[in-house]
Structures are given as structure tokens and as C-alpha cells.
Structure 1
Amino acid sequence: MIQLENITKEFKTKKGIVKAVDGINLHVKKGEIHGVIGYSGAGKSTLIRCVNLLERPTTGKVLIDNVDITSLSLNDLRKTRQKIGMIFQHFNLLKTATVYNNIAVPLKLLGYNDSEVKNRVAQYAEIVGLTEKLDSYPSQLSGGQKQRVAIARALAQEPEILLSDEATSALDPETTDAILELLLKINRELGITILLITHEMNVIQKICDDVSVLESGKVVEYGSAIELFSKPQHLTTRKFLNTISQRNLSPSLIKQLNVSGSVIRLTFLGESTGKPLLAEVSKVYDVQPNILTANIIELKNGIVGNIVVHLHGEAHVVEKALNYFTENGVAVEELGGELNE
């Protein structure tokens, strides 16, 4: 659906050339929700603006449905952009226009007649839950309602792709959850492909199928949400995961617990999350597991459980216990220098 090929974006500054996006290759499949996560300054906003050419890449190609839009004429590019809706962090609403007109104005500019405009505004206001607010002004709305107006405005053009530029970062947690549920509904019921950028791991957790981790303008890790949550490879990914679950132990906690010897991270996926394997292993082998930290994370397409455990026992018996976990579908990772990562 969206294919980015060797996308680079450079900006000229007083200090020289700044490369905000550095040779990114990215594939967003039709019908999925693809998340791009990174810290401030990683190049996320520049990247997503390259998709609809609000920022024209310095080098590389942007393919939408196998068409390189960087080579299109201005007129053809306008037509293609009608397939791509976009929502922003700060809503970008017309302050002096009602909710109805905020949704209607882009349709009128595209030449739709009054009847079609009225039908579409009503349809998409209902989808986002704002039917009762059509005569209200932005100043009379909450932050979540303003974002719903922005989403309805983007949907009214009936795009095939929806770009989300930090759409929940200005919202409180409860409102964020409501907007994420709305995006899931849009993806599921309307079949719209969604590419979103965020610096919040809980956004990735709740709605994304695939994830790209961005750092210094480059993709440093890519995979399904389940892969990244269960087997993060890059340090940046592991830092993000630590913001929603205590995967690692601080030196002070290790000292307080008087931990030494075999400290293991066990990652449970799928069926293994429902098995009492820790209880069973202590019955089968002469080891005593001491749970140091544990959590379970519900993703869009599955469940990931993590337990950091200290195994007491003879080394050769501990090894057998670890093999037992592996045979039962549990990923085993011995923690040494990573304990305070």
C-alpha cells in the first residue's frame, strides 16, 4: 500500500546540512495499522510528511499502490492526495467555524454538491460520535472531541490511507484510549490503512500490527508488535518497553533483594501465557524460582508475558529447568550486564 524506498530528507541550516531522514525503507501493508515510534528529534514527523509530499524527499521514492507519487504532475498529485487523509497533534480546526463546517469545508473545496456534503458530514460525524455537536464551535469542545472532528474531516474525503501525526500526544490517558479505540474501529470497519507516528509505547501496544523504531532518522528495528514486545533487539526499543513494564532491575533493587546467580527473563507467548510453568518446573526439578518482577501485556494481536526470576539450585539442574521452559514455548534470556540497562 505504502512503500518508501531509500527516503532521505535534508534541511539547510545556518550550521550546515541536517539530515532529518536518512535512507529509510518502509513497507506498510494494505489494511494494517503501522506504528513508527521514536524519541523527539528522531525524524518521525518529517518522515510521515514525506508520505503525502507535504515534505518532498531529497532522495528516494514514495509509492502509493505501486505508483511513484514523487514523479507525478501537480494535478495528479492532488488527485492522489485525496486518497490520503491526515490528522495532527493540535487538531488544526477552523476556530470560527462550527463542527459541521470544519468537516464540510474541504469537501466544498473539492467540488462536492451541497447534498453530498450534508450526507458525508452526517455519516462521519456519526462514526466519530459527534452527531449532537455539529452546531458547536471548537472552543466549546474538549480535546478529545476536537480530535474526533479532525478525524471526521479526514474521513469525509473517504481516503484509503490515514496518516496520524502524534494524534494522541496532547490528550489525557482516558481520552487517548477512546481515540485509539476509534482508530481501531475505523481500521476494522472501513478497511483504511493507518500509518501513525508516536513517542508513546502504549499507543503501539494497543492498536498496531507492525512497528518501525526510528532513531536519528533511521529505522533501527522493524517487526510485528508481538515480535518487538517479546524479543526487542535494539537498545532504543528496550528503553521504550521499559516505560510500560519493568523489564529490567535497577542496581539498588538487586542489592536490596540480595540477588546473585541465575537471573532469567522468561517471555511467554500465545498458549504458554496460560500454563503454570513456574509451578510445574519446581515440581519436576530441584529448583526454587523467586519472582523478581512480572507483567502481562495485551496487544492488538496477542498477549506477551514477562517474568524476571531468580532460580535457586545446582547449575546443572537450573540448565535442565531452562530447557524445560524452552521446550514449552517460553523464550529464555539470561540477564547479566543488562540487569540495570
Structure 2
Amino acid sequence: MIVLENVSKEFNSKSGTVKAVKQVNIRVNQGEIHGVIGYSGAGKSTLIRCVNLLEKPTEGKVFINGVELTSLPLPKLRKTRNKVGMIFQGFNLLKTATVYDNIAIPLKLLGYNKDEVKKRVEQYLDIVGLTDKHTNYPNQLSGGQKQRVAIARALAQEPEVLLSDEATSALDPETTDSILDLLLKINRELGITILLITHEMNVIQKICDHVYVMENGVIVEQDTAINLFTKPTHPTTKKFLNTISQRNLSNSLIAQLNVTGAVSRLTFVGESTGKPLLAEVSQKFNVQPNILTANIIELKNGIVGNIVVHLIGDKEQVKNAIHYLEAQGVATEELEGHSHE
């Protein structure tokens, strides 16, 4: 549905050429939700604007539903863009227009008749839960309601693809959750493919099937959401994961807890999350698990559990316990400076 092949984007400035996006490859299948996460300046906003050619790539190709956008003349590109909706961090609503008109005006400009405009506005206001706000103006709405209007406006053109440019970053956590629930509903009920960019790991956690981690214009890691949360490899990915789960304990904290010897991070996924494996370890081997921190992360397509544990006992028994956990499908990682050797 969405394919980027070796997409790069350069900007010329007084100080020289800025390479904002470098040789990016992305493939989003129909009906999936993919997320690009990165810190400020990673190039993700430029990347998503390359998808609908608001920014024309310097190199590479962009395909939407099999059509190569990068090869289309402007009239055909404009027509194809009607099937690509986009929502923004800043809502981009007309302040002097009512909620109804903010959705209706783009449809009128596209040539839809009055009855079709009315039908679509009412239909999509109902989907986003704002039927009773159609006569309100943007300054009478909360931030979450404004974003819902922006989403309804994008949906009213009945796109096949929805792009989200940091759509929740200006919202409080509770409102963010409600908008993410809405995007999930849109994806499931309307079958719309979604590509989003964000710097918030909880957004990725809640709704994404596949994740791309971006840094300095490059995709440094990508995988399914559940694999990325289970076995991250790049330092930037690990930093993001640490924002929603305390995957690492500082040496000073471990010292305060008077911990010596083996300290491991255990990651449980799938069936292993429901098994009392640490209890089994203490029974099968002469070790005592001392849990230092633990949490469970609920993803769109599964559950991941993380435990940082100090295994107390003979070194050989600790090794055997770790091997047993790995045989049960638990990913294990020795924390730096706290080896089992």
C-alpha cells in the first residue's frame, strides 16, 4: 500500500547541503499501522511529507497502492493525493469556520454536491464522536476535540491511506489515549492504512504493527512492534524503551540495594508471560531470585514483560537457571558490569 524505495531528501542552505532523509526504505501493507519514531531533528517530519510529496524526494521512489507518485505530472498527483489523508500536530483548522464548515469546505473545493457534502460531514463527525459540536468554532473546543475535527476532515475525503504527523504530541496523556483509540477504530472499521511519526514510545506501544527507529535521517532499526520491544539492538531504541519501562538500573541504585553478583534483565513474551518461571527456577535450581524492578507492557498485538532480577546462588546454578529460562522462551540479557561469570 505504501512503499518508499531508497528515498532521500536534501535541502540547500547558506551553510551547505542538509541531508534530512537518507536512503529510507519502508513498506506498509494494506490495513496495517506503521510508526516512525525518532528524536527531534531525526528527519521523520521530512520523511512523512515525502510520502504524499509535500516534499519531493531528492532521490528514490514513492508508491501508494501501486502508483508511483514520484513519476506523476502535477494534475495526476493532485488527484492521487485525494486518497492520502493527513493530520497534523497543529490541527490546521480555520478559526473563523464552524466545525461543520472546516470539514465541508475541502469537499466543496473538490466539487462534491451539497447533499454529498452533508452526508459525509455528518457521517465522519459521528465516527469521531462530535455530532453535537457541528456549529461550534475551533476556539470553543478542547485540543482533543480539535484533533478529532482534523481527523474527520481527513476522513471525509475517504482516503485509502492516513498520514499522522505528531498528531498527539500537543495533547495530554488521557486525550492522547482517546485519539489513539480513535485511530485504532478507524483502522479496524474502515480498513484505512496508517503511517505515523512520533517521538512518544507510548504511541508506538498502543497502536503500531511495525516500527522504524530513525536517527540523523537514517532508519537505524526496524521490526514488528513486539520484536522491537522484546529484543531491541540499537542504543536509540533502547533509550526510547527506557522511557516507558525501567529496563536499566544505575550502578549507584544497585549499590544502594546492596546487590552483588549476577543481575539480569528477563523479557517475557507470548506464553512465557503467564508462567511462574521464577518460582520454577527457585525450585529446580539452588538460586533465589531477587526482583529489583518489573513491568508489563501491553502492545497492540501482544504482551511483553520485563523483569530486572538479581539471581542469588552458586555461579554454576545461576548459569543453569538462565539456560532454563532461555529454553522456556525468555530473552535474557546481563546488565553491564554484573556478569554471571
- The TM-score bracket by the shorter chain reads over 0.9
Which residue is 2:104 aligned to?
104
Q: Distance in 2 between matches of 1:337 and 1:298?
A: 30
Residue 337 (structure 1) shift: 4.4
Partner of 1:228: 228
Distance 2:67 2:178 in 1: 35
Q: Distance in 2 between matches of 1:337 and 1:182?
A: 44
> Per-residue displacement from partner, 1:283-322 (whole Å, max 9, x unpaired)?
1110011111111000000000010111111111111111
Provide the residue aligned with 1:80 in structure 2. 80
Conserved in 1, the CA contact under 8 Å of 2:263 and 2:338? no
In the other structure, the counterpart of 2:113 is 113
SS in 2 for 1:245: coil
Matches within 5 A, 1:1-341: 1-337=1-337
SS at match of 2:326: helix
Q: What runs of 5+ residues in structure 2 fail to find an aligned partner?
A: none
Q: 2: CA distance between counterparts of 1:53 and 1:284?
A: 60
Please, which moves more after superposition, 276-285 or 153-162? 276-285
Whole-angstrom CA distance in 2 between matches of 1:251 and 1:96: 56
Q: CA RMSD in A?
A: 1.0
Deviations 1:157-208 (A, max 9, x none): 0000000000000001110000000000000000000000000000000000
Q: Deviations over 1:212-265 (max 9, x none)?
A: 000000000000110111100100000000001100011220110122211111
C-alpha distance in 2 between matches for 1:337 and 1:20: 37
Provide the C-alpha distance between the structure 2 equivalents of 1:29 and 1:271, rounded to a whole number of angstroms. Answer: 27
Task: Give the aligned residue type for 1:257.
Answer: L
* Contact 1:281 1:287 survives alignment (8 Å): yes
SS state of the match for residue 105, structure 1?
helix
Determine the C-alpha separation between the residues in 2 that align with 1:272 and 1:24: 35
Task: Give the conservation status (yes or no) of the 8 Å contact 1:125–1:152.
Answer: yes
Q: Deviations over 1:88-114 (max 9, x none)?
A: 001000000000000001100000000
Amino acid at match of 1:302: G
Offset of residue 334 of structure 1: 1.5
Conservation of the 8 A alpha-carbon contact between 1:248 and 1:338: no
Aligned partners of 2:245 and 2:143: how far apart in 1? 28
Which 4+ runs in 1 deviate beyond 6 A? Answer: none
- The question of whether the paired residues in 2 share the 8 Å contact of 1:86 and 1:162 is answered with yes
Q: Which runs of 5+ in 1 are unaligned?
A: none
SS at match of 1:194: strand
Asked if the contact 2:261/2:338 (under 8 Å) is kept, the reply is no
Q: Residue 218 of structure 1 aligns to which amino acid in structure 2?
A: V
Give SS of 1:158's match.
coil
TM-score (norm 1): 0.98
Residues 136-172 of structure 1, C-alpha deviations (whole Å, 9 max, x = no match): 0001000000000000000000000000000000001
- What is the aligned-residue identity percentage? 75
Q: CA deviation at 1:338?
A: 8.8
Normalised TM-score (structure 2)? 0.98
Is 2:262–2:311's contact at 8 Å kept on the other side of the alignment? Answer: yes
CA distance in structure 2 between the partners assigned to 1:337 and 1:135 by the alignment:
62
